[in-house]
Amino acid sequence: MLDIEQANLKRLLAEPGSMDDLNVPQSIVIDLILRLLFNEGNVALSRFMEVLRIPNRIIDDLLLWLQREHLVDVSKATAELGRLGNVYALTDAGEMRARDAMSRSLYIGPIPVPIHYYMRGIELQTNQRRRVSAKQVKDALIELVLPEEFHRLIGPAINSGSSLFLYGPPGNGKTTIAMAIAKLIAGTDPIWLPYAVTAGGYIIQIHDRLVHKQINVVRGRTAELGRIDQRWGLFERPSVAAGGELTLEALDLRYDPIAKIYEAPLQMKANGGMLLIDDFGRQQVSPANLLNRWIVPLESEVDYLRLQSGQTLVVPFRQLIVFSTNLDPNELVDDAFLRRIQIKVGVNNPDEKMFYQIFVTEAKRMNIPFDKDTFLYLLQKWYRQTGRTMQSVHPRDLLRTMQALCEYEEDLPHMTPELIDEACRCYFVS
């Protein structure tokens, strides 16, 4: 028995049976058919279905209408398949109409979904907070050497699905921790997302091959939801990472004046998953301006985006947003913003005991026999005597350097004080 939200999602994702069920103007669909024919010349019905992602009966009805209007002709027919075996091409009049369609937009892809359907789909799939267990969080962090109860600091943030602030000195794994969280979230229940949406007469492309990892649905149906509208795909929960290259423009709808379509902003692509703002404070935009951009979405769980026409769109802001910085949070943000970040977690430099555990773990991973006396030599000469701060990344980097030195000498990887000295001289800046 489906619960209320699943029942509503089933209705939202139901396969359309007619043009009216697409809930978009017929002109958008006709333009896409004409652009595809203009680009590819001869197009079979199966190709229309593959690109437009709507049922063949709807496409066939539209092609029949275009034939009556003398805009397309059958260039090849397969008698035993009937109309399903037809291959279509533009007529001269159709080519003129196709050029008009190309002047309006160059978009060729799945038929868009109305933006309010997208909003409803996100809300239905994020109303119930995700639940990850302590074991799942510990398993996600198993390759990292962290304080024993560290998982208790980040687990509640993942479950709340709101915000997390990771801070601390560089080189201690903040980004690695964030990536582990992203992988954990991706492994939870998948999410249905449309490839593109339409709003105010424009098309907004949401699907990004670098962000959205698709899960195959056999024969376009699932046991719970039945036959699915193919304009929606089933994806792993997305994760989007932005570092020092982040600008305010990337957080707004980006209009391509050549293709004449919009690309969804980063936070819209991350809906239902995680958005990481890495190296926070080192962006091309000032921290104050960046934080001002997030204050309303963090509180209201909605974001406001503007089209060129001036129309404002209200879209869901439903993702775990993670800020990661090696700068002092008190110098970056004010108390008002920190109050809106529910959980703040310090990722600090390791002590000698943890540094030892990290070194042993990394040596084992690289198949380098661990030598305790050599490790103590490293600790005494290059840390205690110099007062150098230990960082969690040092063991991995020093061992890699020693491994490279051994390979250069055509020797088996090993640890000696001499190799330690050589690796440290290469690695540390005096």
352-427 has which fold?
Helicase, Ruva Protein; domain 3 (1.10.8)
Q: Which residues contact 187 (CB under 8 A, 6 or more apart)?
A: 236
Q: Kindly report, as residue ranges, where domains of CATH 1.10.8 are found in the chain.
A: 352-427
Task: Tell whether the model's pLDDT for residue 105 goes beyond 70.
Answer: yes
Count, in order, helices (H) and strands (E) of the chain. Answer: 17, 19
- H-type alpha helices, 239-393: 266-269, 287-300, 329-332, 335-340, 352-365, 372-379
| Contact indicator for 302, 309 with CB cutoff of 8 Å | no
Strands 43-44 and 87-90: what pairing?
Answer: antiparallel
Q: Write down the pLDDT at residue 82.
A: 67
Question: Given pLDDT bands bounded at 50, 70 and 90, which one contains residue 79?
Answer: low
Question: Given pLDDT bands bounded at 50, 70 and 90, which one contains residue 422?
Answer: very high
For the segment 290-311, the average pLDDT, to the nearest whole number, is 87
Q: Write down the pLDDT at residue 342.
A: 74
Identify the three-state secondary structure at position 357.
helix
Q: Kindly report, as residue ranges, where domains of CATH 1.10.10.10 are found in the chain.
A: 25-110
For the segment 153-180, the average pLDDT, to the nearest whole number, is 87
| Contact indicator for 420, 377 with CB cutoff of 8 Å | yes
Q: Write down the pLDDT at residue 1.
A: 45
| Contact indicator for 344, 153 with CB cutoff of 8 Å | no
For the segment 157-172, the average pLDDT, to the nearest whole number, is 85
For the segment 95-105, the average pLDDT, to the nearest whole number, is 95
Q: Which one of 3.40.190.10, 3.40.50.300, 3.40.50.920, 3.90.580.10 gives the CATH number of domain 114-346?
A: 3.40.50.300
Share of the chain above pLDDT 70, in %: 98
Burial class (CB in 10 A: 0-12, 13-18, 19+), 406: middle
Q: Write down the pLDDT at residue 216.
A: 87
- H-type alpha helices, 109-237: 115-126, 134-140, 151-160, 174-186
- Can you tell me the distance from the alpha carbon of 262 to that of 13, in angstroms, rounded to the nearest whole number? 23
Q: Give the count of beta carbons closer than 10 Å to the beta carbon of residue 376.
A: 13
Question: Given pLDDT bands bounded at 50, 70 and 90, which one contains residue 112?
Answer: very high
Q: How far is CA 380 from CA 186, 313, 383, 420, in A?
A: 43, 60, 6, 12
For the segment 116-144, the average pLDDT, to the nearest whole number, is 88
pLDDT-wise least confident of 315-324, 330-339, 388-397: 330-339
| Contact indicator for 19, 58 with CB cutoff of 8 Å | yes
Which of 174, 147, 145 lies closest to 326, judged by CA? 174
Which of 58, 62, 32, 7 lies closest to 230, judged by CA? 58
- Can you tell me the distance from the alpha carbon of 53 to that of 63, in angstroms, rounded to the nearest whole number? 15
Render pLDDT for 168-213 as a digit per residue (tens, 0 to 9). Answer: 998 898 989 999 989 998 888 899 999 999 999 999 999 999 999 9
For residue 193, the cross-strand partners are 233
| Contact indicator for 323, 341 with CB cutoff of 8 Å | yes
Q: Write down the pLDDT at residue 246.
A: 86
Predicted TM-score (pTM) of the model is: 0.88
Q: Which one of 3.20.20.70, 3.40.50.150, 1.10.10.10, 3.40.50.720 gives the CATH number of domain 25-110?
A: 1.10.10.10
For residue 277, the cross-strand partners are 242, 323
Q: Kindly report, as residue ranges, where domains of CATH 3.40.50.300 are found in the chain.
A: 114-346
